[in-house]
Amino acid sequence: MMKNYILLPVTGIAIGAILGACNPKQPEVPTNDSAILHAWSWSFDTIAANMKTIADAGFDFVQTSPANTCFVGEDGGMALFSEEGDSVKGKWYYYYQPIDWKIGNHLLGTRDQFKAMCDSATKYGVKVIVDVLPNHTAVDHTAVTAALDSAAGGHDKLFHANGFNNITEWNDRYECTTGMMGGLPDVNTENSGFQHYYLQYVNDLIACGARGFRYDTAKHIGLPDDPRDSLSQRNNFWDIATGRESVQGLSLALPADSLFIYGEVLQDKNVREADYAAYMSLTASNYGHALRNALQEGSYYADSLADWQHPAPAEKLVTWVESHDTYANEHESADLEDAQVREGYVFLAARRFGTPLFFSRPMGSTRQNYWGNNRIGARGNDEFFNPEVVAVNRFRHEMHGQPEQINVSDNGAVIAVERGIKGVALINISTDTQTLSLPSSLKKGRYTDAVHHSDFEIAEGKISGTLAPLSSYIIYQQ
């Protein structure tokens, strides 16, 4: 007779107690264990009010939208997006248009509110990542503050000499790192006065409690041996930003290895990802695109998911199904159903490497209405604490030090991410019910998963069972 193994519900706190002490001990291998919630466009107060839920959902980090002083557009309107003639005005991207590098803006909150949010994160064991963007200012560069101009030695010295010329050849490193992108004038990030001023902002974020940074448009800031702008003496911004060098007697307030720092280095030709990876973790943008293709087709084989499609080490990648750019800019990912995004996230979070990021879509959003309730500052929808998301985040932590084996059904609909002999995540990315029969290294027996209370049987080196459409199941070996 098969022995029955039943997991505690995902709301239980003693999952570790049911893991197998009787299994042969496997040597630990390097793994990534953390997960990020991108609380896109949530205010600092909203993030703080939801910190317990974020922690209970198993997220190690919460990523904020930019905290810097920004351009006040559309009379300070608070809509995520508005068209001409709309009664409610606003654009989410104004916080990506800095006019100063101080904490606080009209969209997300004040420095005091940021500090209170960080205090709440500390209370619940969550770390705060801040989206930072030293690469450019607001489109209306005349709106930058006198203090910022003065720090750089004058308004003309704040920008690259090439900083008002549009990038026309994105794969040309000189244009890419010194030119104007989307009408945003390019800051002379090698100006020592600017570096000192910007680093004061970063250190103030750290003093308030931030413990990580996402560098927006990172590939548009030059590496040391990239072509120099005529106003730049050295391409040394990344050495300053990551604490390898000081500027005017000021250094990064904490060692870089105690912070989670990653860069938005979107992949293309001549991007030099491996060189950026020497400074920070990087976004796995090509892999995200491939995963979206697989989700849209409901088949693992619809694109190349067998490797990370990145020259940087897998442990230095930040992975996602979608980002705020793929959702809110070109709406490249916005047509994916919430359930498709969720199953893609389960796949990423169950894996050995990559730090998965879960993008919080707006409350009330649908595939016909991407903006949902259309309010900056409001909490996103409930998906970040969906039971499947909670279960895989906990699975991720429990699988520390376990190797990975991916098995896929012949039709590509079912993915099994097996972690050593300790557990397996089963994911149906299709819209049809699937009958499972895949290889497994787990001990034979009958298992009931914690999310849907569905039974799976392991016998003769295979796992079998039935998976509902667009659903995932988490199983631990005892």
Q: In what order do the strands lie in the sheet with 404-408?
A: 404-408, 414-419, 423-428, 471-476
Structure letter (DSSP) for residue 110: -
The token duo for 408 is: 């896929």
Q: Is 325 helix (H, G, I), strand (E, B) or coil?
A: helix
Residue ranges of alpha helices (H) inside 257-386 are 273-276, 285-297, 324-328, 338-350
| Residues 277, 223: Cα–Cα separation, whole Å | 11
Q: Is 324 helix (H, G, I), strand (E, B) or coil?
A: helix
Residue by residue, DSSP assigns 115-137 as HHHHHHHHHHT-EEEEEE-TTB-
| CA–centroid distance for 130 within its chain | 11
The token duo for 172 is: 């040309």
Active site residues: 216, 264
| Residues 190, 198: Cα–Cα separation, whole Å | 11
* Residue 45 CB burial class (10 angstroms; 0-12, 13-18, ≥19): middle
